[in-house]
Amino acid sequence: MDSDDEINSVQSSEDDFMDDEDSLGEDFDAVEEPDDFGFSQDKDIKPRKQAYEVDFKVWGPGQIQDQQDKQVEEVSAVIGQPTESTAILLRHARWNKERLIESYMDKRDEVLESSGLSEDKEGSASITKADDFMCDICCEDGKDLDTFAMKCGHRFCVNCYRTYLASKIRDEGEAARIKCPGEGCERIVDSKSLKLLVTEDLKDRYHELLTRTYVDDMNNLKWCPAPDCTYAVECGVKQKDLTKIVPTVTCSCGHHFCFGCSLNDHQPAPCMLVKKWMKKCEDDSETANWISANTKECPKCHSTIEKNGGCNHMTCRKCRHEFCWMCMGVWSEHGTSWYNCNRYEEKSGSDARDAQAKSRQSLERYLHYYNRYANHEQSAKLDKDIYLKTEKKMTQLQSSSNMSWIEVQFLQEASQALQQCRQTLKWTYAFAYYLARNNLTEIFEDNQKDLEMAVENLSEMFEKSTDQLAGLKVEMLDKTSYCKRRRIILLNDTAENLKSGMILIIPNS
Amino acid sequence: MFASKRLGKELSKLQSSTPPGITLVKADDFEEWEMDIRVLDSNPIYNGQTFRLKFRFTPSYPIEPPEVVFVKSDTRPIPMHPHIYTNGIICLDLLDRQGWSPVHNVESVCISLQSMLTSNTKNERPPGDEDFSRRNRLRPRDVNFLFHDNTV
Ligand SMILES: [Zn+2]
Ligand SMILES: [Zn+2]
Ligand SMILES: [Zn+2]
Ligand SMILES: [Zn+2]
């Protein structure tokens, strides 16, 4: 990664999120406006911060190092220790500058001692030969054996100490807080000892790990969890805020993830519900297995129907009956105010008196939400498959006709929007499972329904034949931007209600 | 090489003497050993029972902890204990990378397990035992336990 890249990426994310919270109302209006005429416009409109968005900043590897160096220099100037020792002290204090400076001023010797920086009075932290020694790790003994011990006095042969450190650094990825190999000893192997013992071939790895601990120790920094990504994201959302905020961030590598729990974007559901839900799904996986089947029967003629696209609007090949794959209800009702495929209707209380009926009802309720959750996940995959097939066909079409490359970009745009909207929809169902009913639930379900219908409409277009698609560009672009707008509305609404505590979670569900 | 040197020394010590209630059953190589342990006092949960432990060593033993499980046979049941699963997997921080010290050895692990049984008063399995024993396909060393408590 070259440094120009890093600077640019930070610049742009800073620009995107400069607006403060006061501008919410204004942003919201902007969303409602019928805006664009196509995808090219989107890029020119400067993105504004929405209610569901959080401020964050992406840092490249070089910048993380610079940040660290700056902190070290600052503290070094205050406490009057050379930068190398200051770095050791800071790592030991888990980068808590204020606390380090305070305790250093208070009890200097103690702080130096505990970080392994005190003056060696008896020269104990050095490699020596000892009389009457047997190494408790390899059981070797002898006067000629090189041995090492820290202040704690747990002495081992140098060979064993080296092997131990190598195993910690190479296999376990530890660096700043490796403990003495002695049983139950909490003494941290300080950098002076490490310098003495770590072999040349491990020094680079060791320093790399030291840099990593900086990000690990800072509450406002997290590594991007994407494989091989070396960026870190800074965000001010605290652990205790996670019941009210879902802090989704986007790394410069393009990965969307939750700053709270590092999982993939799970808006609008808050982290703790996501955790609960995933645990529940895992526990109930056998009960729910039948749902993920790709085939179902047509509710009218009972012929077997296979789902091969993401769209949930199904038409039976045999009897032409149109129905919804999720609720198996008649499709024509889905486009009207009758649509309530997303809503779980509680059975009237009277028929759920006994425990068995109650447990069946709670299973039915769970399956209602799980069904839809799993379905959007599966549909997103099918949508993607069909897009990839379409794209291939379009590329072939392009080379045989006079359509230019840019003209099929709208397909990719639509496909990406579909993926993102289905991801959101999926989590709205996990979220809804835990929602206590009040007047806000209705609004939430209306938003969910609107987004779901928009998504199914767009998804359906992918099933058109390739030669038709070229003529549907404008319509598809319209539907794409409508989907995106519905998603933003749903996320904004939910984020605002979550923040103000208006959304109630069912206790112990 | 690292492991065999140390295991060789451990073996000759175990062959000459073992602590009460602990016997060496099998040690044909430096990869897998079997030990029997028995509770010494009259803990009613384990009365008259003997348990078999299987140790597996990697070449970096004792820097790395050994893999230790109870194994079942006609005469050797899996001891009832809130930290021991039906499949023989033991949830003990001493056997985890974080809790292991290379100073430990086969004998000290046996003694720790023996005293873990001696002091136990609960005739029960860990929470979620049935599920875990049925589903787990991981090697014990790859299971991430949240230690129920670290005092045992
Ligand atoms: Zn040694
Ligand atoms: Zn020590
Ligand atoms: Zn990334
Ligand atoms: Zn999260």
Q: B13 and chain A: CB distance < 8 Å anywhere?
A: no
Q: Is residue B141, in this structure, part of any structural domain at all?
A: no
Q: How far is the CA of A310 from the centre of ligand 3 (A)?
A: 28
Nearest to B27 by CA among B60, B63, B66: B66
> What's the rounded Cα separation, in Å, for the pair B36 and A182?
27
Verify that A370 and A459 share a domain, yes or no.
yes
When CB atoms are compared, the residue of A139, A163, A183 closest to B63 is A163
pLDDT (mean) for B128-141: 70
Choose from A137, A169, A187 for mutation: most chain B CBs within 10 A.
Answer: A137
Q: Which amino acid makes up residue B51?
A: F
Q: Residue B15: what pLDDT? A: 94
As annotated, the active-site residues of B are 91
In a domain, B53, yes or no: yes
Is residue B145 one of the residues assigned to a domain? Answer: no
Do A355 and A476 fall within a single domain? yes
For chain B positions 15-74, those within 8 Å of chain A (CB to CB) are: 60, 62-64
Q: What pLDDT is attached to residue A334?
A: 66
Q: Are residues A185 and A319 in the same domain?
A: no
Q: In what order do the strands lie in the sheet with A221-223?
A: A56-59, A232-235, A221-223
In a domain, A19, yes or no: no
- Cβ of A163 within 8 Å of Cβ of B101? The answer is no
Pairwise CA distance, residues B95 & B104, whole Å = 10
Contact A205, B101 (CB under 8 A): no
Q: Which residue blocks in A401-465 are alpha helix, DSSP H? A: 409-433, 439-461
B104 touches chain A (CB under 8 A): yes
A181 touches chain B (CB under 8 A): yes
Annotated active-site residue in A135, A235, A261, A311: A311
Residues from chain A that touch B2, judged by Cβ atoms under 8 A, are 138, 163
Domain encompassing residue B71: 2-122
pLDDT, residue A346, reads: 63
- Give the Å distances, CA to CA, from B65 to A164, A186, B123: 12, 18, 28
Distance A386 CA to ligand 1 centre (A): 61
Whether residue A203 lies inside any domain: the answer is: no
Is residue A343 located within the same domain as residue A437? yes
Kindly state whether residue B58 falls inside one of the protein's structural domains.
yes
Residues of A in contact with B5 (CB under 8 A): 138-140
Inter-chain residue contact A183 with B97, CB threshold 8 Å = no
DSSP code, position A256:
E
* pLDDT of B51 above 80: yes
Domain CATH code at residue A402:
1.20.120.1750
Domain count, chain A: 2
Is the Cβ of A185 closer than 8 Å to some Cβ of chain B? yes
The answer to whether residue A139 neighbours chain B at the CB level (below 8 Å) is yes
Ranges of residues in chain A whose predicted pLDDT is under 50? 1-46, 121, 123, 290-292, 337-338, 349-350, 352, 509
Alpha-carbon dihedral sign for residues A104, A106, A112, A115: negative
Query: Is residue A253 annotated as part of the catalytic site, yes or no?
Result: no
- My answer on whether A405 and A277 are in the same domain is yes
Q: What is the pLDDT of residue A9?
A: 38
Which residue out of B103, B131, B134 would a mutagenesis test of the A interface target, given it has the greatest number of A Cβ atoms within 10 Å? B103
Listing from the earlier edge strand, what are the strands of the sheet with B22-26?
A: B22-26, B32-37, B51-56, B67-71
Mean pLDDT of B131-142: 67
Axis-axis angle for helices A409-433, A439-461 (nearest 10) = 150
Interface probe for A, chosen from B6, B10, B112 (most Cβ of A below 10 Å), is B6
Residue at B134 is within a domain = no
User: In this structure, are residues B109 and B68 in contact, taking their beta carbons and an 8 Å threshold?
Assistant: yes
CATH of the domain at B79: 3.10.110.10
Query: Which of B5, B9, B63 minimises the CB distance to A164?
Result: B63
Q: Is A165 part of a structural domain of the chain?
A: yes
Spell out which residues of chain A touch residue B6, defining contact as CB-CB under 8 Å: 137-139
Residue numbers in B near A182 (CB within 8 A): 101, 103
pLDDT digit string, tens, across residues A446-488 = 999 999 999 999 998 888 877 777 788 899 999 999 999 999 9
A251 located within any domain = no
> Is residue B127 in a domain?
no
Q: What spacing in Å lies between the alpha carbon of A247 and ligand 4's midpoint?
A: 7
Interface of A with B in 143-162 (CB under 8 A): 160
- A183–B6 CB contact, under 8 Å: no
- What is the spatial distance between Cα A18 and Cα A21, in angstroms, rounded to a whole number? 10
Say which CATH number the domain at A154 has: 3.30.40
Any B CB within 8 A of A467 CB: no
The C-alpha of B106 sits at a distance from chain A's nearest C-alpha, in angstroms, of: 12
- Inter-chain residue contact B103 with A137, CB threshold 8 Å: yes
Q: Do A167 and B9 touch (CB under 8 A)?
A: no
State how many domains chain B has. 1
B9, B60, B101 member nearest A139 (Cβ): B9
3-class secondary structure, A183: coil
Give the Å distance between the CA of A46 and the centre of ligand 2.
58
Residue at B140 is within a domain:
no
Closest CB to A183: pick one of B63, B97, B104: B104
Same domain, A167 and A295: no
In a domain, A247, yes or no: no
Instruction: Assess if residue A363 is contained within a domain.
Output: yes
Structure tokens at A475: 């319509």
Domain that holds residue A184: 121-198
In the reported structure, the alpha carbon of residue B2 is separated from the centroid of ligand 1 by a whole-number distance in angstroms of 10
Tokens of A453: 């219908």
- Residue A140 and residue A279 share a domain: no
Residue B152 lies in a domain: no
Q: What is the mean pLDDT of chain B?
A: 86
- How many angstroms separate the alpha carbon of residue B59 from the centre of ligand 1? 15
Which of A164, A280, A287 to mutate to probe the B interface, most B CBs <10 Å?
A164
Cα dihedral: A377, A367, A427, A327 (round 10): 70
Decide if A67 is inside a domain. Answer: no
